[in-house]
Structure 1
Amino acid sequence: MTSLQYQTGFCNDWATEALPGALPPGRNSPQACPYGLYAEQLSGTAFTAPRVENRRSWLYRIRPAAAGQTAFTPYEAHGWASRFGDAPTPPEPLRWSPMGLPETATDFIDGVRSWAGNGSPDDLSGVAVHLYAANAGMQGRHFYNADGELMFVPQQGRLRLATELGLIDVAPAEIAVIPRGIRFRVELHDDTARGYLLENYGAPLRLPELGPIGSNCLANARDFQTPVAWYEDIDSEYELIAKFGGRLWRASMDHSPLDVVAWHGTHAPYKYELSRFNAVGSISFDHPDPSIFTVLTSPSDTPGTANVDFVVFPPRVLVMQDTFRPPWFHRNVASEFMGLIQGVYDAKTEGFLPGGASLHNCMSAHGPDADTFAKALALDTGKPQYLRDTLAFMFETRRVIHPTAQALDSPLLQKDYLQCWQNLSKRFDPRQP
């Protein structure tokens, strides 16, 4: 993979140019921009959002985004969805095997399958969870999402995200976020690619507050990377795919839309390497809540209750004494969609595979399987436990996550998932305190 240049930090007020002097000095929209460029503002939040939450960037581009484009028409041949809950959602835990790789030429747009979600882009609240599998890069077409920002969580295969604001390479064990409205295409560095895709309709993802943890740990702002300015000046026919109002639309363009020569602002794509997450945990006893593994959060209108949290379970050391160390049995007011990037998840010894997924909805009972429970009881908690071969994640939301019809009807759905808890036999003996 070609080494790319990045700027470090999270949502800084960046300033970057691909040609010297392309950024107008001292003003955002001068009467005439350098190099004959056009000034265009891209706003990802309301104009009057508080300064600390405001996401906007000024783009200096070869043509305005509105130029050289035909009217949109519906694009129907796709697996995307933005309506959830039309069919009854079962309350029991669900689990799916990994999605297979395509056998015919399939790019990212046609390789997406909507798996679950809640809320609506119309309400600016909720999420959609998609899976993607592709064996071809996007040729002659680009994409933007007006409904929400997109988080890529690759599980297999490296991607290049060629965006209006620069180039991002993202590999398994990394994530990348493309903000609402930014145009991009997905290229493949390997023959095939597979992974997970979060579509966030709510407030833009941000770093969580650390509270009593203090000023360090979890995801540090300095470890996030944003691309430097890069552009294409190509006059050719392209297809532009837009996701708007829950549907996909297509239009023709007579040039590449990736023609931003310089930009500055806070509304920009970024990537993060999950190995840089500094996990914290108990060093005495008891198992902390999984919220300590939050990488990014999209807050809701209820303080402390997220529209969605992105949580990662990385390699780590467990030292809690006299404590049941795997995730305990629990029922949760929030809903959890989990994926496995590599290795083995510490609460499931089999059945939960890399590329697979599980859904534990509001108040559905779940926890370690019978085999994990037995091993945890026999563990010597006087010694540290090293979890090395593992990398799992969770999208946790305040609302019920409704699987789509294609997810519920999929042969990947494991009909026997509930069996993993059925060997948890009765252990109660009133004679043995």
Structure 2
Amino acid sequence: MQDEQPAPPGGTPEPEPELFTWEFASNPYPAYAWLRDNAPVRKTPLPSGVEAWLVTRYADARQALAEPRLSKNPAHHDEPAHAKSKTGIPGERSANLMTHLLNIDPPDHTRLRRLVSKAFTPRRVAEFAPRVQELTDQLIDRFIEEGEEGEERSADLIHEFAFPLPIYAICDLLGVPREDQDDFRDWAGMMIRHGGGPRGGVARSVKKMRGYLAELIHRKRLEPGDDLISGLIKASDHGEHLTENEAAAMAFILLFAGFETTVNLIGNGMYALLTHPEQRARLQKALAEGDTGLLETGVEELLRFDGPVELATWRFATEPLTIGGQDIAAGDPVLVVLAAADRDPSRFEEPDTLDLSRRDNQHLGYGHGIHYCLGAPLARLEGQTALATLLRRLPDLQLAAEPDDLRWRGGLIMRGLRTLPVKFTTAQTTVSD
């Protein structure tokens, strides 16, 4: 798809773009610009066959994300059961994992989020920073350890770095024993590779994960530790009620939402830096001078510019309502296009320009309202640590493929690269302590 601009007033109308093709996946932003300009709230057939309203303007997106008449519960979808099965995470229905934060409304959402907040505290995330740094350095050591100093090396930053880092981190945080974490990596890999395609393998992986989590929760109840699952159980056992299914579903969604978004944050972020060398040089210079301010604003800008979540998860109208002047019927699905809203020129100055020092940056990359991402502090920690360490330890890192040759994973909600081949020179890169 060409990166075209809308025709000037009186000119030839820009043709309507085709959505959800492989070309669209590579660069959806021109199509989203067309939707913002011509059909900002539009009922659209999705690849699954389900029709949903796409919301693409920033102001409308904020309204929809905080709208209480848009339910997260798929039971409100005015479609037969076979259609409803296409609107969630593959395999979660059959594995009895529906009762998590992404699928429920108040008061149950309020109760479960309060329980998780007691266990998933800012203090726990801050104390986890050294472990995230340790994992980051270990993974970089692993893909540079072979070869002579000064030799040019290559790696795939998705499979060798961006994917294993958050899966091992969230497993550590949840309390999954180290000897079991490779199983989680395999199950998570199946979900990432096939999340937008055939669902059989994904469903099997989800069922295996659900069975393991139920067993782990039982063990943690008998022998609690200083981990997130034990914290959930403790919070539940001291007053508020958390059922076995709710506990398993909560651990599942923390794992699911806690790793793929970070895979994409690291992958998309590094790709943006490698294709914007002047911005990358600014960040490297700031880091070399010990200034982390540009890193913090930079990660926020990367979340806005090409974030890990393209569309917010499903919402369903519980009664008729109006968004952006468009009437929406009860039972209709609504999808907020975060990627479009975060490039809305009515909200962001020069939205298609990457500016790591952007200050006025209230992006919607982690949502808005009561469903704002609970794991955002952990994702930011992992993203900042990963990008800063890569730039520091591999200062001459560069793409090992043409941008047009890279492929993006299919799927509706997430946005991420299949691979990110890079090359670099090994020189004084191994961490000695």
For normalisation by structure 2, the TM-score amounts to 0.26
State the structure with more CA Rg. Answer: 1
Greater RCO (CA < 8 Å, at least 6 residues apart): 2
Q: Which has the higher strand share?
A: 1
Q: Which has the higher helix share?
A: 2
